[in-house]
Amino acid sequence: MITPQELQLELTEDLKKIGLSRGETCYVAGNISALARTRIKKNVLLPTFLASLKGVIGPLGSIFSPSASMNLCNTDIPYDIANTPSHEMGAFAEHIRLAPESIRSFHPFWSISGLGKNAGILERVSRHSYGAGSPWSNFLDFDARQINIGFHPSKAVTLIHHVEVTAAVPYRYTKEFTHPIVKEDGSIAAEPFYMSVMYRDSDIQKRIALNEHYFAEMEKRNLLQSYIHSSGLPIWGFKMRDFYNVAMSFFVDDIYNYLERPPSNRPYNS
């Protein structure tokens, strides 16, 4: 049976093999459930994996993770930046959110939590989930590396929606949501937030093999690294800027490449 200290050392080496290095900013998404095969309890696994990340990037690095609460969308449930849990983002993402030094962005539906040198940018992002001034544009500025644990990055690459906004795809529009939020003094106020959403009165269909063509091109260009830990946990790593550039090239060639086919019903066409 492996000890937590041994596991931390192994994971540290695995993270280096997928490209993570000292001083980097990383965005981590996924599920570490495969590590349960080590028979180490979850309340030990979570800080062990975090310690491995910190051990690689050092004190000048930063760690970000999703803390989205999309379950609040179209409800009257107030968003409390300190207490609203993430929804279906995984145990590790929630571990990051709950860390004492964690900083969380102010968006009731798509928030990000962060630790380390650059985490403070989350206090200065826009109220749009994507686009200029969002966490995603900042990650590109930081030349951040995305790390996917447990499942292929094609299943968890929210950055694609930032690309869609930047590419100005016609099948999405910016919608204003007025949502109740808990203010610092405990009072509740309704405030505006923004997200890029698809037209409902259209026959828009996402690709069945969603995002896979982007990562096929990433692999072709040797821009996607991967490694499998002895427990069976797969880990992938790639530069978010590389993904942005690859995906954007697809949108330049075909604005509807994210979809199974161009929609026939286009309410945005006058």
Per-residue pLDDT, 270: 81
Report pLDDT digits (tens) over 105-124.
999 999 999 999 999 999 99
Angle among Cα 120, 122, 125 to the nearest 5 degrees reads 125
* Model pLDDT, residue 89: 95
Residue 3's pLDDT band, with cuts at 50, 70 and 90, is very high
Mean residue pLDDT of the chain comes to: 97
The answer as to whether 270 is a domain residue is no
The DSSP bridge partners found for residue 114 are 64, 103
Is residue 132 assigned to a domain?
A: yes
- Work out the average pLDDT over 60-85: 98
Q: What are phi and psi of 69, to 5 degrees?
A: -135, 60
Q: What is the pLDDT of residue 136?
A: 98
The boundaries of the domain holding residue 88 are: 4-253
**Domain-located, residue 261:** no
- Residues 227 and 261: their CA atoms lie apart, in Å, by 34
Is residue 147 one of the residues assigned to a domain? yes
**The model's pTM:** 0.96
Q: Is residue 221 part of a domain?
A: yes
| Distance set, CA 95 to CA 24, 72, 133, 177, 224 (Å) | 20, 20, 26, 28, 26
Position 67 in a domain:
yes
pLDDT at 218 over 90: yes
Q: Is residue 262 part of a domain?
A: no
Q: What is the pLDDT of residue 33?
A: 87
CB 143 within 8 A of CB 241: yes
Burial class (CB in 10 A: 0-12, 13-18, 19+), 255: middle
Number of domains within the chain: 1
Q: For residues 76-98, give the mean pLDDT.
A: 97
DSSP reduced 3-state for 5:
helix
The pLDDT tens digits of the residues spanning 149-161 come to 999 999 999 999 9
* pLDDT for residue 163 is more than 90: yes
Q: Name every residue whose Cβ is closer than 8 Å to that of residue 158 and which is 6 or more positions away in sequence.
A: 29, 66, 110, 136
Token pair recorded at residue 114 = 């962060």
Averaged pLDDT, 125-149? 98
The whole-number pLDDT of residue 152 equals 97
pLDDT level of residue 34 (50, 70, 90 thresholds) = confident
- Give the pLDDT of residue 1: 78
Place of tokens 């026959």: 203
Q: Assess if residue 265 is contained within a domain.
A: no
Q: Tell me what percent of the residues of the chain surpass a pLDDT of 90.
A: 95
